[in-house]
Amino acid sequence: MEIRHTKTDNKRLLTPVKKAMQQYRMLQPGDRIAVGLSGGKDSSTLFYILRLLQKQLPFEFELVPICLTLGFEGMDISPLEEYVESLGSRLYVKPTHIGKIVFDVRNEKNPCSLCANLRRGALYKTAKALGCNKAALGHHLDDVIETLLMNLVFNGKLGVFQPKSYLDRRDITVIRPMIYLEERTIEGIVRSRGIPVVKNACPANRKTKREEMKSLVAELSRRYPDIRYRVLHAIQNVNPEDFWNKGP
């Protein structure tokens, strides 16, 4: 696959990513960054963007694409391997038994949270074993809004993941460069560049609480087109005095 970009790409794709990286100091010269690739559109687009930035930025950093296999039958990652190779890299594949643990051993009724925690833990452990000091995840702006709503609706709290966070127990820094990109922008890049998407073999695919929040965000955006950026502004400009404090 040819790594290319247009002026439109710069405005819609790279400019928001660079803005997030600069605001939260995500990238430094000499970084060795693990990129978690699931075969989905988000992580594969993230890898494409980071490869573009390797060609654009005036300093060097390394990318280590990692795919965790979860043990689900019928998941063919060969298109992902070919995609990574077409961009001049080699995919490191780490087999795990996470699918069996979540669905057979634990028999989770709401498996997504446990699965995500196990996957992140396995990714960070693998990244450290491969000499990485950072791990990049493919969360985008819609993920930010959905996470905020999930915490509010299902957990009764206000909270969202950080753009950049250092995990002292793992000695690794997690970055999310696509937090200013809308999901529809990513979908457009996938179509225009022919980025392959591997079928998700998880039994819970499309049956999750996040899917409910995705539908809610879509409905809100139809009524209020700029809702995503309004919520983003609110997250970045929290005033503690606007909330109740029960005291000590």
Whether residue 216 lies inside any domain: the answer is no
% of the chain surpassing 90 pLDDT: 65
The reply to whether 243 falls in a domain is no
Determine how β-strand 32-36 pairs with β-strand 62-69. parallel
Nearest-5° Cα angle at 21, 20 to 27? 165
Spatial separation of the C-alpha atoms in residues 244 and 248, rounded to whole Å:
12
**pLDDT tens digits for 149-189?**
999 998 899 999 999 999 999 999 999 999 999 999 999 99
223 against 119, higher pLDDT: 223
User: 100-107 — which CB contacts under 8 Å span 24+ positions?
Assistant: 100/71, 103/203
Of 67-76, 80-89, 225-234, least confident by mean pLDDT is 67-76
pLDDT at 143 over 80: yes
Judge whether 154 lies within some domain: no
155 within a domain of the structure (yes/no): no
CATH of the domain at 78: 3.40.50.620
Q: What value does the mean pLDDT of the chain take?
A: 89
SS3 at position 75: coil
Structural domain boundaries enclosing 170 = 7-141+162-200
Is 36 within a domain?
A: yes
Q: Which residues, 6 or more positions from 148, have their beta carbon under 8 angstroms from its beta carbon?
A: 158, 159, 160, 231, 235
Look at residue 74 in the predicted model and tell me its pLDDT.
64
With respect to residue 82, please indicate whether it lies within any of the assigned structural domains. Answer: yes
Q: How many domains does the chain have?
A: 1
With respect to residue 23, please indicate whether it lies within any of the assigned structural domains: yes
Instruction: Summarize the confidence of residues 224-232 as an average pLDDT.
Output: 94
Q: Is the pLDDT score of 206 beyond 80?
A: no
pLDDT in tens, 48-78: 999 999 988 999 999 999 998 876 666 788 9
Identify the residue with better confidence: 188 or 207: 188
Joined together, the tokens standing for residue 81 give 């391997």
132 is a domain residue: yes
Q: Is a pLDDT exceeding 80 seen at residue 205?
A: no
User: Could you tell me if 50 and 18 are in contact, meaning their C-beta atoms sit under 8 angstroms apart?
Assistant: no
Least confident segment among 37-51, 106-120, 129-143: 106-120
- Give pTM, 2 decimals: 0.91
pLDDT at 228: 95
Burial (CB count within 10 angstroms: exposed 0-12, middle 13-18, buried 19+), residue 175: buried
